[in-house]
Every structure is written in structure tokens, then in C-alpha cells.
């Protein structure tokens, strides 16, 4: 299977200091990442590079249990979560200050279906793109000041 990546970007009216904990700390992940039902630490590592987690993802009619690792953590700039099963799945959040806001780019990399799966590859790609957009929308909502 070939690895493909989907990139989506947005600008959020919040500082990176407010957004970074939402994308780098496991306790916020379920609220931010579309389709993620659970992210449970495996061990006592905390949210540091190399920390492992059990993830439960809802993918269409399926529920997938997998292990992921916090692979990269550059404070206020980059966070990368990767699958640990030898596959090429990853989520990369990149934050960059832009005037009074933060530009956020989300890159989701995954193994594109091959063989007979080529028939559904466009559907998978659009589903991943929709999930990426929904994730950034959730991040925007969580960063928004509470309504009065």
C-alpha cells in the first residue's frame, strides 16, 4: 500500500499557547480529533515524546483498536501522533502565529487501499479529508471564548 497525506489548514483566533495543549495532551484528544472515541495511556510516561496510548477509533461501521505513540513535540509549534503497528498512519498538527491568530495545519497520513481496495480509495480519501476538517472545526470551537 502506498502512503498518502491529506492536509487541511485554518486560522483560529487564539494564541498557540491556548491551542497547543488541546492538540498535544491526550486528555483533550477525544474532544478534538474527529472519530477518536478513547485514548488511554499505556504506562506512566505522561504526554512526552515516546509515550504510548491505546486508541479506539470509530471508522464508519467499524471500531478500530490500535496503539499510537506521541512521536514529536515541539512546544507551541508541532505535535505528531503515529501508529505503532509498523504502518504509516500519523496526525501532524503544525501551529504558526499569524497576527493575532494562529494558523493551524493538520496533515493526516495513511496507507491508501491497494488491489481491490482501489475501488474505495476515493471514498476513503474524502472521509479522511472530512475528518480532518471536522477536527480543525472542533479545535476552533474549543478555543472560542464561552458565550455569554
The residue ranges of DSSP E strands in the chain, in sequence order, are 2-12, 36-41, 52-59, 62-74, 78-83, 90-98, 101-112
98-134 tens-digit pLDDT: 988 999 999 999 877 666 656 666 777 888 899 999 9
Where exactly are the structural domains of the chain? 2-143
Please give the CATH number for the structural domain made up of 2-143. 3.30.530.20
pLDDT of res. 113: 61
Residue 16 pLDDT > 70: yes
Q: 143 and 12 in contact (C-beta within 8 Å)?
A: yes
* pLDDT at 10 > cutoff 60: yes
Q: What is the mean pLDDT of residues 41-54?
A: 86
- Say what the alpha-carbon torsion angle 74, 49, 9, 16 is, to the nearest 10 degrees: -40
Amino acid at each position: 500500500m502506498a502512503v498518502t497525506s491529506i492536509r487541511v489548514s485554518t486560522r483560529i483566533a487564539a494564541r498557540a499557547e491556548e491551542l497547543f495543549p488541546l492538540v498535544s495532551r491526550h486528555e483533550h484528544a477525544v474532544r478534538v480529533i474527529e472519530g477518536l472515541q478513547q485514548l488511554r495511556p499505556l504506562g506512566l510516561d505522561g504526554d512526552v515524546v515516546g509515550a504510548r496510548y491505546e486508541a479506539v477509533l470509530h471508522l464508519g461501521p467499524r471500531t478500530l483498536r490500535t496503539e499510537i505513540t506521541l512521536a514529536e513535540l515541539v512546544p507551541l509549534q508541532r505535535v505528531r501522533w503515529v501508529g505503532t503497528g509498523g504502518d504509516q498512519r500519523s496526525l501532524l498538527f503544525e501551529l504558526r502565529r499569524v497576527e493575532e491568530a494562529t494558523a493551524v495545519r493538520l496533515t493526516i497520513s495513511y496507507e491508501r487501499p491497494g488491489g481491490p481496495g482501489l475501488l474505495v480509495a476515493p471514498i476513503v480519501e474524502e472521509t479522511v479529508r472530512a475528518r480532518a476538517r471536522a477536527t480543525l472545526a472542533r479545535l476552533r470551537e474549543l478555543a472560542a471564548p464561552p458565550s455569554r
